[in-house]
Amino acid sequence: MKYYIIAGEASGDLHASNLMKALKSRDHHAQFRFWGGDLMAAVDQENNLVKHYKELAFMGFVEVVLNLRTILNNIKYCKKDILNYQPDVLILVDYPGFNMRIAEFAKKENIPVHYYISPQIWAWKENRIHKIKRDVDEMYVILPFEKDFYEKKHSFPVHFVGHPLLDAIADRPPFDLDRFKKDHKLSDKPIIALLPGSRKQEIKKMLEVMLKMVDKFDDYQFIIGGAPSQPKSFYQEFIEDQKVALIENKTYDLLSAASAALVTSGTATLETALFKVPEVVCYKGNAISYQIGKRLVKNIKYISLVNLILDREAVTELIQDDFNEKTLENELYKILDPKYREKIFEDYFDLEEKLGGKGASENVSDLIVKI
Do 92 and 226 lie in a common domain? no
Give the model's pLDDT for residue 286.
63
Cα angle 153, 354, 270; round to 5: 100
277 contacts: CB under 8 Å, gap ≥ 6: 193, 255, 258, 259, 260, 261
Looking at the structure of the chain, the number of domains it has is: 2
- For residue 105, with 0-12 CB atoms within 10 Å meaning exposed, 13-18 middle and 19 or more buried, which class applies? middle
Is the overall model pTM greater than 0.85, yes or no? Answer: no
Contact 92, 114 (CB under 8 A): yes
Do 151 and 58 lie in a common domain? yes
* Dihedral sign of CA atoms 74, 79, 81, 85 in order: positive
Do 19 and 100 lie in a common domain? yes
Give the model's pLDDT for residue 201.
83
CA-to-CA dists, residue 229 to 200, 325, 337, angstroms:
9, 27, 34
Say if 16 falls within a structural domain.
yes
Say if 171 falls within a structural domain.
no
Q: How many residues in the chain?
A: 371
Say if 169 falls within a structural domain.
no
CATH number at residue 271: 3.40.50.2000
CA–CA separation, 248 and 66 (whole Å):
29
Say if 170 falls within a structural domain.
no
Do 244 and 361 lie in a common domain? no
Do 140 and 180 lie in a common domain? no
Do 344 and 218 lie in a common domain? yes
Say if 256 falls within a structural domain.
yes
Q: Which residues pair with 6 in a beta bridge?
A: 35, 92
Q: Which helix (H) or strand (E) holds 340?
A: helix 338-355
Contact 263, 282 (CB under 8 A): yes
Say if 108 falls within a structural domain.
yes
Do 149 and 185 lie in a common domain? no
179 contacts: CB under 8 Å, gap ≥ 6: none
Roughly how many angstroms between the first and final C-alpha of the chain, as a whole number? Answer: 12
For 79, the domain range is 2-163+357-370
Do 38 and 182 lie in a common domain? no
Say if 168 falls within a structural domain.
no
Give the model's pLDDT for residue 174.
94
Q: Which helix (H) or strand (E) holds 11?
A: helix 10-26
The per-residue b/e assignment along 298-327, b for 16 or more CB within 10 angstroms, e otherwise, is: eeeebbbbbbbbbeeebbbbbbeeebeeeb
Do 184 and 297 lie in a common domain? yes
Do 130 and 35 lie in a common domain? yes
Do 346 and 366 lie in a common domain? no
Residues of the chain with pLDDT under 50: none
Say if 45 falls within a structural domain.
yes
CA–CA separation, 49 and 111 (whole Å):
20
Identity of residue 102: I
The per-residue b/e assignment along 180-219, b for 16 or more CB within 10 angstroms, e otherwise, is: bbeeeebeeeebbbbbbbbbebbbebbbebbbebbeebee
Do 144 and 197 lie in a common domain? no
